[in-house]
């Protein structure tokens, strides 16, 4: 693969793969390392994809496998609150703090979900993948993705006291 083509692919998908790994692993440096490893494997595989959809699916699936290998080695699966650090400074500080507090409670609740439920929430609501795309990535049927998502939302409702969050 020519360097300029790889550079274009790397720039286009780095943040998507990194964000997915960061949400799943709860550790910035590990997410960076595994993102790099994902792209190293991409180069080494020297695959010729017909379109971008197949390319990003391969990258996500490889990242997922690397993350699960890492988690198995560490024997931990946790969730990192997704509090953004790049909130504009012009935002009212009270509003900003309320948003941060809400986000903290939501992601603390996500930490209490089963790994499979948490992953479906990441893919469907954070990464905004379709049910079909999520099913393909996870190697599940579409109905399993729907059922797991429904269970996850029901559990979150219970944990959060019935608050609407979908």
Q: Has residue 20 got a pLDDT over 70?
A: yes
Q: What is the mean pLDDT of the chain?
A: 79
Residue 119 region, left (φ>0) first, then alpha (ψ -120 to 50), else beta?
Answer: alpha
- Name which residue leads in pLDDT, 89 or 73: 73
Q: What is the pLDDT of residues 95-135, one digit of tens each?
A: 655 666 666 677 778 778 888 888 898 888 877 889 999 99
pLDDT at 118: 86
Q: Which of 20, 159, 144, 120 is nearest to 80 (CA)?
A: 20
Sketch out the chain's domains with CATH numbers. 3-74 (1.10.1740.10), 93-159 (1.10.10.10)
State what percent of residues in the chain have pLDDT above 70: 75
């Amino acid at each position: 693969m020519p360097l300029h083509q790889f550079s274009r692919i790397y720039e286009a998908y780095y943040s998507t793969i990194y964000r997915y790994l960061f949400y799943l692993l709860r550790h910035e440096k590990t997410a960076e390392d595994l993102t790099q490893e994902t792209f190293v494997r991409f180069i080494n595989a020297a695959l010729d994809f017909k379109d971008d959809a197949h390319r990003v699916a391969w990258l996500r699936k490889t990242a997922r496998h690397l993350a699960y290998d890492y988690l198995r080695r560490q024997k931990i699966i946790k969730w990192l609150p997704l509090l953004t650090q790049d909130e504009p400074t012009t935002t009212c500080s009270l509003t900003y703090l309320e948003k941060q507090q809400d986000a903290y409670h939501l992601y603390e609740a996500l930490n209490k979900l089963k790994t499979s439920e948490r992953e479906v929430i990441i893919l469907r609501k954070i990464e905004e993948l379709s049910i079909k795309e999520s099913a393909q990535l996870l190697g599940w049927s579409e109905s399993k993705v729907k059922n797991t998502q429904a269970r996850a939302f029901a559990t979150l409702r219970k944990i959060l006291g019935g608050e609407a969050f979908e």
